[in-house]
Amino acid sequence: MNLEDLPIRDDLRGMKAYGAPQLDVAVRLNTNENPYPPSERLLDDLALTIRREAAELNRYPDRDAIELREELAAYLGHGLGRERVWAANGSNEVLQQILQAFGGPGRTAMGFEPSYAMHPLITTGTNTTWVRASREADFSLDPAGAVAAIKEHDPDIVFLTSPNNPTGTAVPIETIEAVIEAARGMVVIDEAYFEFARTGTPSALTLLGRHPRLIVTRTMSKAFAMAGTRLGYLAAHPAVIEALLLVRLPYHLSTVTQATARTALRHREDLLKDVQRLREERDATVGWLRGRGLEVADSDANFVMFGRFPDRRKIWQGLLDQGVLIREVGPPEWLRVSIGTKDEMSAFRQAMENVL
């Protein structure tokens, strides 16, 4: 039997499952992971913590993840408490819960493309209609254009990714505020890469006090180097958290996940030191690519989008043949490389030299 023979939902027919290739190559720079594995200190702490917590694995976990949310709120600062913070299995699940609560049949969600491909996918997966608006040629967002698009389509949810994936572009706080003020519905600022932004870039968290329909999403997958843990979170008005409680599955965050995330938070000083190294490596990568005469989008994230290649598949394949996996994503003539360790980036540069 094939997939087509099953009585699946009509709107899922013909769709392809999302996913970057998980290939076993030496240098993996394709999914914006953090290249630094957990330290010995973190691993030791984690082993003891899990040993302790596991003694109660016959019981369901804390359904509301009270302590974890308290500690995430403390990390975010801005005077936030646990009543304004929510967590789930990766920010993808957080986004899905937002759509389950505020989207659905007859409703629309809008985003400014090119941007994170999961926003439209989670939107359609929850039977919400996706409305596409555009960024400028340099991938920035024109405030007047964004406001006009919102007024024209009147979406129930607006997604804005800053720093944006796959372009790396940070959106100025004034533009974010103009978008929130123009929107009737919920506004989601996806700050998955916020910690990598160049200094001085304010977070949309600074706007939370004034805007009750604002949701700021974050993840431990990138800056905290915890992609395998699956822990995403958000900050919003307490009423928004109440709305999310209506749609989440009971006990959605396992005891092990909560304990692992709390352990990572205890080690945040060490983990965030690596963020600084990645920022420096990113800026060096931008400089090197520009020095090769390539077009490179300014980046406030842990990846760099560069081009242009009339046949980008050829470049991507040429790198892969040398054991360097990057991502074919974004506008047609561009490629994206995630920032790895010094050695990995030097392998990337060498492979690029050979392929250019």
Q: Which of 90, 120, 125, 340 binds ligand PMP (CB under 6 A)?
A: 90
Task: Locate all alpha helices (DSSP H) within 205-254, ordered by sequence.
Answer: 238-245
Residue placing its CB nearer to ligand PMP in the complex, 92 or 140: 92
User: Binding to ligand PMP by residue 34, rule CB under 6 A?
Assistant: no
Q: Given the rule CB under 6 A, which of 42-50, 61-69, 84-92, 329-337 is the region that contacts ligand PMP? A: 84-92
Q: Which of 203, 221, 258, 338 binds ligand PMP (CB under 6 A)?
A: 221
Q: How far does Cα 96 stand from its chain's mean position? A: 13
CB 263 within 8 A of CB 301: no
User: Binding to ligand PMP by residue 97, rule CB under 6 A?
Assistant: no
How many residues form the binding site for ligand PMP (CB under 6 A)? 13
CB of 173 to ligand PMP, least distance (A): 18
CB of 165 to ligand PMP, least distance (A): 4
How many helices (H) and strands (E) the chain has is answered by 11, 12
Q: Is 43 helix (H, G, I), strand (E, B) or coil?
A: helix
Tokens for 18?
């999302």
Q: Is 307 helix (H, G, I), strand (E, B) or coil?
A: strand
Q: Given the rule CB under 6 A, which of 54-62, 219-227, 280-288, 341-349 is the region that contacts ligand PMP? A: 219-227
Residues 327-346 that bind ligand PMP (CB under 6 A): none
Nearest by Cα to 225 from 162, 268, 191, 254: 268
Euclidean distance between CA atoms 270 and 263, whole angstroms: 12
Residue partners of 356: CB distance under 8 A and separation at least 6:
292
User: Binding to ligand PMP by residue 219, rule CB under 6 A?
Assistant: yes
CB of 356 to ligand PMP, least distance (A): 27
User: Binding to ligand PMP by residue 92, rule CB under 6 A?
Assistant: yes
Euclidean distance between CA atoms 231 and 92, whole angstroms: 9
Residue partners of 199: CB distance under 8 A and separation at least 6:
none
Tokens for 16?
């392809």
Residue placing its CB nearer to ligand PMP in the complex, 228 or 332: 228
User: Binding to ligand PMP by residue 112, rule CB under 6 A?
Assistant: no
Residue nearest to ligand PMP (CB): 90
Residue placing its CB nearer to ligand PMP in the complex, 165 or 285: 165
Residues 113-132 that bind ligand PMP (CB under 6 A): 116
User: Binding to ligand PMP by residue 192, rule CB under 6 A?
Assistant: yes
Residue placing its CB nearer to ligand PMP in the complex, 224 or 309: 224
CB of 197 to ligand PMP, least distance (A): 13
Adjacent-strand bridge partners of 145: none
Question: What CA–CA distances, in Å, run from 310 to 114, 307, 325, 338, 352?
Answer: 18, 9, 19, 21, 16
CB of 221 to ligand PMP, least distance (A): 3
Residue placing its CB nearer to ligand PMP in the complex, 190 or 281: 190
Q: Is 85 helix (H, G, I), strand (E, B) or coil?
A: strand
Q: What is the dihedral of CA 309, 314, 315, 318, to 10 degrees?
A: -170
Residue placing its CB nearer to ligand PMP in the complex, 177 or 190: 190
Residue placing its CB nearer to ligand PMP in the complex, 190 or 300: 190
Q: Which of 28, 29, 32, 327 binds ligand PMP (CB under 6 A)?
A: 32
x-or-dash string of contact with ligand PMP, 143-162, rule CB under 6 A: ------------------x-
Residue found under tokens 């790895």: 340
User: Binding to ligand PMP by residue 165, rule CB under 6 A?
Assistant: yes
> Beta-carbon neighbour count of residue 58 at 10 Å?
6
- For 342, the enclosing helix (H) or strand (E) is helix 342-355
Tokens for 74?
């403390």
Tokens for 341?
């360790």
Q: Which residues bind ligand PMP (CB under 6 A)?
A: 32, 90-92, 116, 161, 165, 190, 192, 219, 221, 227, 232
